[in-house]
Amino acid sequence: MDSHLLQEIEIKNFKCFDNFKASGFKRVNLIGGKNNVGKTALMEACFINVHAQDIKKFTGALVDIKRMRETLNRLMAFIQDKNKSISVQTYLEKNNHFFSSSNINSVSYNIEDSDGIKHYIFTLNGKELKININDFSFEIDFIREIQFIDNFGLSNIEIIKNYSSIQKKDAENILNRFIKNFDPSIEVFKIIDDTPQCKKNGDYLELTEFGDGVRYLVSIVSALYQCENGYLFIDEIDNGIHYTMLDQLWEIILTLAHEQNVQVFATTHSKECIESFYQAAKQLEEKEITYTIMTQLKSGAIDAGVYNYDLLENSMEQEHEVRGW
């Protein structure tokens, strides 16, 4: 297994996780379970952990997940012409006492407030940094090879940035072939006048004129090329995708994740999505996969059962319930 792949993680004091551990992750990992059981939160913690190379990147990851969670609120604020943006400082202070440790990075963060003097304390891979709030720059940074696709898909700006990776690898025809398999009426995808567009019946239309499934597919494929040797996190992966197209979606993801050396984490509620995930892996003979069932115990703690390919195969072939309820 490639050394950059996240194989295990421990999470403390983050959202629904008081003290959580999971291990056994492979190249492509699907996460299932009931609503509000921590599927997205697990991906967010992993996303933060692999970013924890320095304070700016760690802070940037915290900001990014909050930004995604606030998408609808930010949209309404824009419509109402109100500035309701939350500052980087607010993001940091809402996540006080965060801790995660994996085979990639170990990071802890807490706020010390004594006699009116506030310090941010970061411990990144064993190195502690204590910074007075008045000296903290609140500057953030991002790693382009680590991306998180929420259930809205990527913005036009993000798709355009990622598409450059497809162009650099002369892979435009590969994306067009994937899109045409999803919607045979689409002839080609291009960036025209700084806008993602698809040609249909001889005319170019903006990507937003098509269904969510096409936008989501373009978001995923372009991100897989951009995230070469990195990580891609996809929330509600079957969003806008008809169940009859899920086999093709998983074939695309499994193939590109292997070719581009990307570790993928995704969430789903759908039994059809889990079945397609397994069937595509079986067809491609790709065993570097896991399926994780998230459950809440009677004590309130969150538990994760990580199935490798062999365990998933056994459960699927015997038609066991694998959605976590």
How far, in Å, CA of 273 to CA of 320, rounded?
Answer: 15
pLDDT in tens, 296-306: 998 989 999 99
**pLDDT of res. 257:** 97
- Cβ neighbors of 106 (< 8 A, separation 6 or more) are 52, 100, 123, 124, 125, 126
Residue 22 has pLDDT above 60, yes or no: yes
Beta bridge partners of 264: 28, 232
pLDDT band at 323 (very low <50, low <70, confident <90, very high): low
**What pLDDT shows up at residue 116?**
86
pLDDT of the residue at 65: 87
User: What are the residues whose beta carbons fall under 8 Å from the beta carbon of 176, sequence distance 6 or more?
Assistant: 188, 189
For the stretch 271-284, pLDDT in tens is: 999 999 999 999 99
Sign of CA dihedral 204, 209, 213, 217: positive
**Closest by CA position to 306, among listed 11, 20, 81, 31:** 31
pLDDT band at residue 318 using 50, 70 and 90 as cut-offs: confident
Residue 76 has pLDDT above 50, yes or no: no
Residue 180's domain comprises 21-53+143-317
pLDDT at 75 over 60: no
Residue 224 covered by a domain: yes
Please compute the mean of the pLDDT values over residues 169-176 and round it to a whole number. Answer: 95
Q: How many domains, the chain?
A: 1
* Domain contains 122: no
Task: Tell me the average pLDDT of the chain.
Answer: 90
Q: How far apart are CA 217 and CA 237, in angstroms?
A: 10
Q: Report d(CA 153, CA 23) in Å as an integer.
A: 28
**Can you tell me the mean pLDDT for 218-229?**
97
Token representation of residue 211: 């269904």
Confidence bin at 220 (pLDDT 50/70/90): very high
- For residue 217, give Cα distances in angstroms to 65, 184, 234, 246: 21, 14, 11, 11
Main-chain phi, psi angles of 151, to 5 degrees: -75, 5
**pLDDT of amino acid 320:** 67
Q: Please give the pLDDT value at position 83.
A: 44
At 265, the pLDDT band (50, 70, 90 cuts) reads very high
Residue 53: is its pLDDT beyond 50?
yes
Contact 99, 107 (CB under 8 A): yes
Q: Is residue 215 part of a domain?
A: yes
pTM of the model: 0.93
**304 occurs within a structural domain:** yes
Q: Is the pLDDT higher at 318 or at 175?
A: 175
Q: What is the pLDDT of residue 79?
A: 40
| 210: CATH | 3.40.50.300
Query: How many whole angstroms separate alpha carbon 277 and alpha carbon 211?
Result: 22
Q: 166 near 159, Cβ under 8 Å?
A: no
Residue 80: pLDDT over 60: no
Cα→Cα distances 159→11, 156, 242, Å:
31, 5, 22
Task: Give the CA distances from residue 261 to residues 119, 146, 229, in Å, rounded to whole numbers and listed in that order.
Answer: 39, 12, 5
In single-letter form, the type of residue at position 46 comes to: C
- What percent of the chain is modeled with pLDDT above 70? 93
What's the pLDDT score for residue 47?
Answer: 97
Residue 10 domain flag: no
Q: What is the pLDDT of residue 175?
A: 95
Triad 278, 282, 284: Cα angle to 5°: 120
Residue 92 lies in a domain: no
Domain annotation covers residue 80: no
Assigned domain for 170 exists: yes
pLDDT by residue (tens digit) across 83-142?
Answer: 444 578 888 888 888 999 999 999 999 999 988 899 999 999 999 999 999 999 999 999
